[in-house]
Amino acid sequence: MKLARFASLVLLAAAVALLFAGYLRSTAAPAASNFVLVAHCGAGDYSKTPPEALERDRAAMIVAIRQGYAILAAGGRSLDAVETTIRSLEDSGEFDAGRGAYYTRAGVPEMDAAIMDGRTLAAGSVASLQHIANPIHLARLVMEKTPHVMLVGPGAEEFAKSQGIELVSPFYFYNQRLWDLYQKAKSAGDKKQSSTLEGNRPDVYGTVGVVALDQQGNLAAGTSTGGTVMKMPGRVGDSPIIGAGTYANNESCGVSATGVGEYFMRNIVAADICERVRYLHVSLEQAANDVVMKELVEQHGDGGVIALDRQGNVSTPFNTTGMITGTARGDGKITLRGWSKTAEPIVVPASQ
């Protein structure tokens, strides 16, 4: 009798353990089909953007997001999806990243980028690059091939050469549209003789960023930028600063930011949003809105973020008139929105 009762207790304990394990799996990680990828290509005022340029932006976003989506749909890692999507955005030349980077006062683009693994908290970032076609790729190599988090300038480019990356000429980044913008800003700056942030703000901060959640329930985030128009050579914004413009932690969320980087650095915006979720137990939406729509607004810090948690919740607040974002989920659709606050979303297939 005692043996039978003991056996019954063992079976009951095993059943409870299995139920509890199932509960943990359901709350700690999403279902396999619940993967998500969110991308942005900058906040600002798109009302002055010509319709054909706006269409090019959306088309480039679709091309890039489809590449990241394909990786996630096949069961690939969020890190791979983030890097691949951003590389495509850098290569497009449509945004302030990679081939489309803004010119500094010296007339030479300088680029920054960062990537972070939400599972391990490993991170890599690079800044003040002049000869790297895909800064996001070098940032990932810093994360995976060095004991460091950030490398800058010539040191970062020497490391790139050691990893087999061919340095490109600054002429690789030549873009007539951006050169004209630089000349216009330079002329206006000479007249004003001003070095304030206010005098150098573009209509659109074309920084690009991606946050992804893979089928294993792991988050990753990445950001790439050319900074602001007519920035001082050597100026570094929030994008490559872990916790300011880029952050990912499976315990809370992943964030990529765009806007006036100085304000995002002062307020460690990306980490602040995630820590509010983690420690205050507020929703992702509330955390992101409280930081972007209240704290930054009070300081006149223009910009926005894309944020994603492990349950697949997405928040994309911006305090400018627009911020183009694209979201792809396991349902096979990409939803583009944000070029104005009243714009109707555009939905396209996530697979070609």
Specify the amino acid at residue 55.
E
For the record, the structure tokens of 232 come out as 């001082």
For the record, the structure tokens of 107 come out as 């007339």
Residue 330 neighbours by CB distance under 10 Å: 18
Residue 77 neighbours by CB distance under 10 Å: 18
Known catalytic residue at 207: yes
Query: Which among 343, 345, 315 is positioned nearest to 36, based on CA atoms?
Result: 315
Catalytic residue (choose from 207, 228, 321, 335): 207
Q: Which residues of 125-162 are buried (b: 16+ CB within 10 A; e: fewer)?
A: bbbbbbbbbbbbbbbbbbbeeeeebbbbeeebbebbee
Q: Phi and psi at residue 271, in whole multiples of 5°?
A: -70, -35
Distance CA 188, CA 194 (A): 9
**DSSP calls for 284-351:** HHHHHHIIIIIIHHHTT--EEEEEEETT--EE--BSSSEEEEEEEETTSEEEEE-SSTTPPPEEEES-
Catalytic residue set:
207
